[in-house]
């Protein structure tokens, strides 16, 4: 089985550094500044809270190790669309691509843009209408930047990612360099509950951590533009995940040092409260700036990578022909970028809160994550002759463990947010008549 080249009009301009920074930049968004509160509330002990971040990182790494095999073997534009098509047939590839455009990526862009605009309200009071207007303007700006070449987009992304990594490391250093924190805040170190009573809360805390790590697969969407993809794709996926695990462990250690665990569990904005405890009002302002950089940078990465999915579908004749057009000078899927921007802006106008948008994303994206890891196992048999420059470490345990965690996350979403899960599932199923329409056409 030889993968068909769908990327002849795109240029391989992305280096290992570019590829790694795209993934790191996508993962580090607003969640690391917010979800530590939920994790502290569920775990009620510093050791368990830190363990959640380590385990969440390792689970994400299992997914990264698995999907890296597919990326190296099939370095085409579209990422999961290509893998699911090869493993399960064209209808599953289409349903993923359809859902990625309709919900997963476009709703992510809308949700993060709303989050960015909401945090801007720290400096300038904004009403709900103004928040949506600023969110839409940010989507339009990022879309325009990425129309002028993948290299310009990569340079912009590298800048955002280095800034946010620097901001996190600065917060870690300042937490220990200035007065205000204490190692006494790590008490209680160990949970007082029985092991059996901890299983449920630990699972809920894991959901929050996995949200924060989401984005490790992003570089596969632009696999057709990565230099030496057989080597750089798997290496960038693994490196980016390891970098974020280290950063998240350090920053959460600093949070607990700055704030007692009980205070963390009650805080709505853990990072801001931790910085305030260390540096006063200046700390809160600096954290808000860090959040603005992080959300804008994360959104930029999605805007850059996601249009390659409908582009690949259109090249295969399974989506609107316009999405397959590549700019003759800048070598970007310009129509796909523009239409994605328009749809994301509409979702920003029509949808509700950040949480509602993100719940749609989580439910469907983790279904396809589990299927992608399953594709590693299926293609080992179905396409045994496929060249695999990199093979999954710990196969088949690594993909199997990740699949179990993904199923748990999906089930939890159905239980906790059944309406949002039903809406998201309905959008996926709407792809079936669309698939048969384009297949016949």
Domain coordinates in residue numbering, the chain: 16-440
Instruction: Average the pLDDT over 22-29 and give the result.
Output: 92
Concatenating the DSSP letter of every residue in 248-306 gives HHHHHHHHHHHS-HHHHHH-SSHHHHHHHHHHTHHHHHHHHHHHHHHHHHHHHHHHHHT
Average pLDDT over the chain, rounded to an integer: 87
**pLDDT given at position 352:** 55
- CA–CA distance, 76 with 27 (Å, rounded to integer): 22
List CB contacts of 269: < 8 A, sequence separation 6 or more: 33, 34, 287
**For residues 44-67, average pLDDT:** 91
Q: Is residue 265 within 8 Å of residue 48, measured between CB atoms? A: no
Mean pLDDT over 198-222 rounds to: 83
More confident residue, 29 or 24: 24
Q: Average pLDDT, stretch 122-133? A: 89
Alpha carbon 91 to chain centroid, angstroms: 24
120 DSSP assignment: H
Q: pTM of the full predicted structure? A: 0.87
Mean pLDDT of 217-240: 93
Which letter does DSSP use for residue 225 in this model?
G
Q: Is the pLDDT of residue 250 over 80?
A: yes
For tokens 């690949």, name the residue.
312
Q: Superfamily for 16-440?
A: Amino acid/polyamine transporter I (1.20.1740.10)
Instruction: Reply yes or no on whether the pLDDT at 17 is more than 70.
Output: yes
How confident is the model at residue 359, as a pLDDT? Answer: 63
Calpha distance 222→6 (Å, rounded) = 11
Mean pLDDT value across residues 2-23: 77
Residue 4 has pLDDT above 50, yes or no: no
């Amino acid at each position: 089985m030889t993968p068909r080249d769908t990327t002849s009009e795109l240029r391989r301009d992305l280096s290992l550094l570019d590829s790694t920074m795209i993934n790191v930049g996508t993962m580090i968004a607003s969640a690391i500044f917010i979800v530590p509160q939920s994790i502290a509330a569920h775990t009620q002990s510093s050791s368990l809270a830190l363990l959640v971040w380590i385990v969440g990182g390792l689970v994400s790494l299992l997914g990264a190790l698995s999907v890296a095999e597919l990326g190296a073997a099939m370095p085409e534009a579209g990422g999961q669309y290509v893998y699911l098509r090869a493993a399960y047939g064209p209808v599953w590839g289409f349903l993923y691509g359809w859902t990625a455009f309709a919900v997963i990526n476009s709703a992510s862009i809308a949700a993060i843009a709303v989050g960015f605009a909401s945090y801007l309200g720290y400096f300038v009071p904004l009403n709900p209408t103004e928040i949506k207007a600023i969110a839409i303007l940010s989507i339009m700006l990022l879309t325009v930047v990425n129309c002028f070449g993948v290299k310009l987009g990569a340079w912009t992304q590298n800048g955002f990612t280095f800034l946010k990594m620097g901001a996190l490391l600065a917060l870690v250093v300042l937490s220990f360099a200035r007065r205000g924190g204490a190692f006494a805040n790590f008490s209680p170190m160990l949970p007082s509950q029985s092991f059996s009573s901890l299983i449920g809360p630990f699972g809920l805390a894991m959901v929050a951590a996995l949200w924060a790590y989401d984005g490790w697969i992003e570089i596969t969407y632009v696999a057709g533009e990565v230099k030496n993809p057989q080597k750089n794709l798997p290496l960038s996926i693994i490196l980016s995940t390891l970098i974020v695990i280290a950063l998240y462990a350090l920053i959460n250690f600093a949070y607990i040092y700055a704030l007692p665990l009980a205070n963390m569990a009650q805080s709505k904005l853990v990072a801001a409260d931790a910085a305030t405890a260390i540096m006063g009002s200046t700390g809160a302002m600096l954290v808000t700036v860090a959040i603005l950089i992080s959300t804008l940078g994360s959104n930029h990465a999605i805007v850059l990578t996601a249009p390659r999915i409908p582009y690949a579908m259109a090249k295969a004749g399974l989506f609107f022909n316009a999405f397959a057009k590549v700019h003759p000078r800048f070598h970007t899927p310009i129509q796909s970028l523009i239409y994605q921007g328009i749809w994301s802006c509409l979702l920003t106008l029509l949808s509700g809160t950040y949480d509602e948008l993100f719940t749609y994303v989580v439910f469907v994206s983790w279904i396809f994550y589990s299927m992608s890891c399953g594709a590693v196992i299926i293609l080992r048999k179905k396409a045994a002759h496929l060249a695999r420059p990199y093979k999954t470490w710990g196969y088949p345990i690594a993909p199997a463990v990740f699949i179990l965690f993904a199923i748990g996350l999906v089930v939890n979403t159905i239980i906790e947010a059944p309406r949002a899960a039903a809406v998201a599932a309905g959008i996926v199923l709407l792809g079936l008549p669309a698939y048969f329409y384009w297949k016949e056409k």
